Copies of this chain bind each other. A is one copy, B any other.
Amino acid sequence: MTPQGWEQIKAEILRRIQVRDWPPGALIPSEESLAIEFGCARATVNRAMRDLSVAGVIERRRKAGTRVTVLPVRRATLAIPVIRQEVEARGQVHTFHLLAERREVPPVPVASRLGLGPGGALVWIETLHLADGRPWLHEQRWLDPQVLPVDAPDFSAVSVNEWLVTHVGYTTGDIAFSAEGATAREAEVLGVLPGVALFVTERTTWTATQAITLVRLAHAPGYRLQTLV
């Protein structure tokens, strides 16, 4: 029984790698010969192989051919939802409090990270997110005021997080995760003892041209970040 459809072809190739028909480092037959073997078009084999290449299972180079990765750097995908969605996906009610909102000159590392000249002021926003009324997440954000409209939105009614997603929209950025002991402020706001282990997310967000915002999210204890399967 020959595989049908690119997903079955992908599965068959993966199976041969797993059972070591094609061990790590081995050269895999060319797309054309596999297409003949499987009785399908080369484009279909290509579709399957591209998927495996993106996953880091194989490495492809023109002319050199396709090899099974020796020490594969596996790739995992994370979903980054809006905070409200994340809480609601757990079946809980999301609320939030705007704790602070003011213009302020940021510390040098923040300014340089956002590509801001010296002396320029940013908007500083501090928000506490709650799930079923219990502290869930402490959000501290530096925001470039250029992205705000002349009549600034009311961040006590719509969370900054959600306003940015819906009004600034499609952006790129980098994300870092770490574990840190709760600062005095975080402990106070989240209702935990200082030094308690918190899961911290730090994001820098860019549009095509400029940095928009830098945010630190400190999750209440017990938070787990899961990869998509």
Contact = CB atoms under 8 A, between A and B. Distances in A.
Interface of A: 14-15, 17-18, 20, 24, 56-57, 70-82, 85, 162, 165-166, 169-172, 174-181, 195-200, 207-208, 219, 221-229
A78 B80 contact: no
B71 A166 contact: yes
A201 to B, nearest CB: 10
A199 B198 CA distance: 9
A159 to B, nearest CB: 12
Contact of A197 (B72, B198, B223): B198
Contact of A172 (B71, B78, B229): B229
Given A166-B24, A176-B224, A226-B174, A73 B80 contact: yes
Contact of A178 (B75, B77, B225): B225
Contacts of A176: 224-227
A225 B169 CA distance: 25
B200 A169 contact: no
- Which of A18, A70, A74, A179 has the most chain B CB atoms closer than 10 A to its own CB? A179
